[in-house]
């Protein structure tokens, strides 16, 4: 077996037994990145020198018997997460040349556990998008089909995991931005409970919705990554002081006796690809065969979720992105006469069209005369969506749904119609509005060979139960073992340093 085909759990065991070295493992991924990046485009930046230095330190640590959870494990990090001294662009011209003077808390925790950073993954600009087509820097392709999108906004992270260009990755999820690309790329993606993982150092899009989480080949790998990054952080006022359970230790408990809810509002006929419904229904039957009890439930305010989400998210985005004015850091339009013109030109030229659209809409719904009609009303309906989930979890332990209405769509198919693009998030955004955890894992393939995922939602801080059910399904299926049919190329090694 090639080293790049290993899972995190498998690689960790081989490193611990000294069957392989961290340097050997890291070199294998760096060489694969060189060969595959011309056709995938997962990474904005790759850092081979830093990666090999970290790998050498990991080998020294392993030799002393001081291994952490992720010592010597090569990972990718979405380029919305700050790493001290390294470019953090959010895939935007606005942050060209910006190098944070500090590490995000999740990076500090990964370093404590001995990880190896391969590079920063591509994304939709400022995490605004569902296809990674809004990146101002490059195009990322779905490893399963070059003409298809990888999903978004964590499309680079998902594609890197699917193409075996890393052992795992971190993404961020504001309205499905981990789970939807995980579904489209055939990998596991977990959005933790809001407050479970520190947001300190995560460049904000919508502060009440954003959450960092892992993407990986298997459920066990996601459990391990979550174990490494979860926990209270005094630097983040939204971080919850709550003990972190042993996520790996509870994976084998099975699903016998678990009550699984199937919300009728998620199994819609209009807009749902029949192959998606068939695959998700198959996953439900597989869990029932293992002893789970499935029942239909209702989340009645689901039809309002898309409108509520895009009002709240865009309002928060307009506020958070006001800081990018060309004065403090990042891009500045040089040909300006006066401060006002510099502001206008910097923001017009630094932001891409989707970011500008969301800032304008967000500013509108917060403006005098419209705040009550839009933002306040959206916040009230958000409360009703939260109550729907609270009532549902009094009846059931977990909720099962599709992740996206269709498999990955073709590049350019929805870019001319923003509303159609926004509707691709219809099954994922409610979890962000409510702050509950959710996980996507592969459950089938379309007739065109594209992955299909299903979603498991849980009550607050019930990640362990979600992982338990996901692992039970994974052990009964083989979808997570399938790999995209990629052909490597002989590329110039200098391409690795961009």
430 assigned to active site: no
Q: Which of 398, 75, 110, 66 is nearest to 231 (CA)?
A: 110
How far apart CA 3 and CA 26 sit, in angstroms, is 9
How far apart CA 116 and CA 105 sit, in angstroms, is 16
348 assigned to active site: no
CB 267 within 8 A of CB 297: no
- Give the list of residues 6+ apart from residue 249 with CB closer than 8 angstroms, or none: none
- Give the list of residues 6+ apart from residue 63 with CB closer than 8 angstroms, or none: none
Name the catalytic one among 177, 216, 318, 440.
Answer: 177
How far apart CA 89 and CA 293 sit, in angstroms, is 46
Name the catalytic one among 78, 120, 191, 217.
Answer: 78
How far apart CA 58 and CA 20 sit, in angstroms, is 12
How far apart CA 177 and CA 215 sit, in angstroms, is 11
What are the DSSP calls for 142-200, one per residue?
Answer: BTTBTTB---SSSHHHHHHHHTTSSSEEEEEESSSTTHHHHHHHTSEEEEPPTTTB--T
177 assigned to active site: yes
- Give the list of residues 6+ apart from residue 289 with CB closer than 8 angstroms, or none: 476
CB 431 within 8 A of CB 460: no
The SS3 of residue 245 is: coil
Name the catalytic one among 21, 130, 153, 318.
Answer: 153
Active-site residue set: 78, 153, 177
């Amino acid at each position: 077996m090639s080293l790049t085909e290993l899972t995190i759990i498998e690689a960790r065991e081989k490193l611990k037994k000294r069957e392989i070295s961290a340097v050997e493992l890291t070199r294998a991924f760096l060489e694969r990145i060189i060969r595959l990046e011309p056709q995938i485009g997962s990474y904005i930046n790759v850092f081979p020198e830093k990666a090999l230095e970290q790998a050498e330190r990991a080998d020294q640590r392993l030799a002393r018997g001081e291994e952490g959870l992720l010592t010597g494990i090569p990972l990718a990090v979405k380029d919305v997460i700050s790493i001290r001294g390294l470019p953090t662009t959010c895939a935007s011209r606005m942050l060209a040349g910006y190098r944070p003077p500090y590490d995000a808390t999740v990076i500090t925790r990964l370093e404590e556990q001995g990880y190896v950073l391969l590079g920063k993954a591509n994304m939709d600009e400022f995490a605004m998008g569902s296809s990674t087509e809004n990146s101002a820097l490059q195009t990322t392709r779905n490893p399963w089909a070059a003409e298809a999108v990888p999903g978004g906004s964590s499309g680079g992270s998902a594609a890197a995991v699917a193409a075996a260009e890393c052992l795992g990755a971190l993404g961020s999820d504001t309205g499905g931005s981990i789970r939807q690309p995980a579904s489209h790329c055939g990998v596991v993606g977990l959005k933790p409970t809001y407050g479970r993982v520190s947001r300190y150092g995560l460049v904000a899009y919508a502060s009440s919705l954003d959450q960092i989480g892992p993407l990986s080949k298997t459920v066990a790998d996601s459990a391990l990554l979550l174990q490494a990054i979860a926990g209270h952080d005094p630097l983040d006022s939204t971080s919850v002081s709550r003990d972190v359970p042993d996520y790996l230790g509870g994976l084998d408990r099975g699903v016998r006796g678990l009550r699984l809810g199937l919300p009728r509002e998620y199994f819609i006929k209009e807009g749902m690809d029949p192959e998606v419904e068939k695959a998700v229904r198959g996953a439900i039957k597989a869990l029932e065969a293992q002893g789970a009890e499935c029942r239909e439930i209702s989340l009645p305010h689901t039809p309002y979720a898309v409108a509520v989400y895009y009002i709240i998210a865009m309002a928060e985005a307009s506020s958070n992105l006001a800081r990018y004015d060309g004065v403090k850091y990042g891009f500045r339009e040089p040909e300006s006469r006066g401060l006002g013109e510099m502001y206008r030109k910097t923001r017009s030229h630094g932001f891409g069209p989707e970011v500008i659209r969301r800032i304008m809409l967000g500013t509108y719904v917060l403006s005098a005369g419209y705040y009550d009609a839009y933002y306040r009303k959206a916040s009230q309906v958000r409360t009703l969506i939260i109550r729907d989930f609270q009532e549902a979890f009094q009846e059931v332990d977990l909720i099962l749904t599709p992740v996206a209405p269709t498999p990955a769509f073709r590049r350019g198919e929805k870019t001319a119609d923003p509303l159609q693009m926004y509707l691709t998030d219809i099954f994922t955004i409610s979890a962000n509005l409510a702050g509950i955890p959710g996980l996507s894992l592969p459950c089938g393939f379309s007739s065109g060979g594209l992955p299909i995922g299903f979603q498991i939602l849980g009550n607050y801080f019930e990640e362990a139960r979600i992982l338990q059910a996901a692992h039970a399904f994974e052990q009964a299926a083989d979808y997570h073992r399938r790999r995209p049919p990629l052909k490597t190329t002989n590329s110039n090694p200098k391409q690795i340093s961009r």
